[in-house]
Amino acid sequence: MDYQTWFAFFAAACVIAISPGSGAVLSMSHGLNYGVRRTSATILGLEIALVVILIIAGAGVGSLLVASETAFNVIKVAGALYLIYLGFSQWRARVPSEEQGEALDAANASARAHARQTWWQRCMTGFLTNATNPKGIVFMVAVLPQFIDHDRPLWLQLLVLAVTMVAVDLVVMHGYAFAASRLQRFFRSQKAIRAQNRFFGGVLMLVGAGLFFFKRTQH
């Protein structure tokens, strides 16, 4: 892979990562609830799924999924329902009482409200959020072939592209999580915690509902 091709992919990866989506919403939500360090587990799950999607698309399997209406619809519905489930769960997340809120600072209150999610659960949440997103598969299938030189080893090129994509996405998702975590001090009260839960929960449900209207590319 020559430098010009890599740089073009790097630019595309930056645009993809920065564009708001379910991964960005989840990173901000967990950044606000858990802080940047704990959100790293969520982001790890997002990146593992990203690599899986890139490999699937690069190996040509993604094209088969896009071509098969049944397979595409199964992934689409599963992804939509999962995002709606995530959003609904966050909308209904338990919030500390006013008495508890007075005895806790914002970070502890947030951690107490979401203590049931372990590191592994956050990682799986991130993984399933990206892995069940048909937009990611369709986008990779449409974009990735433009950066593949068929006269050179495929897997070496996929490795370079995967490392580039993950590196960019790691920085951007941590940036989203960091920006959201800086707002923790504004969410000390029970009312404010409930408001942020409903905001991010509502956004996730809207993104999930939007997937039902997402159509595969016709050839």
Residue 172 has pLDDT above 90, yes or no: yes
Burial class (CB in 10 A: 0-12, 13-18, 19+), 200: buried
- Show me where the domains of the chain are located: 22-211
**Per-residue pLDDT at 150 exceeds 90:** no
CA–CA dist 32, 182 (Å, integer): 8
Q: pLDDT tens for residues 10-27?
A: 988 887 788 777 888 889
pLDDT classification of 110: cutoffs 50, 70, 90: very low
Specify the DSSP class assigned to residue 3.
H
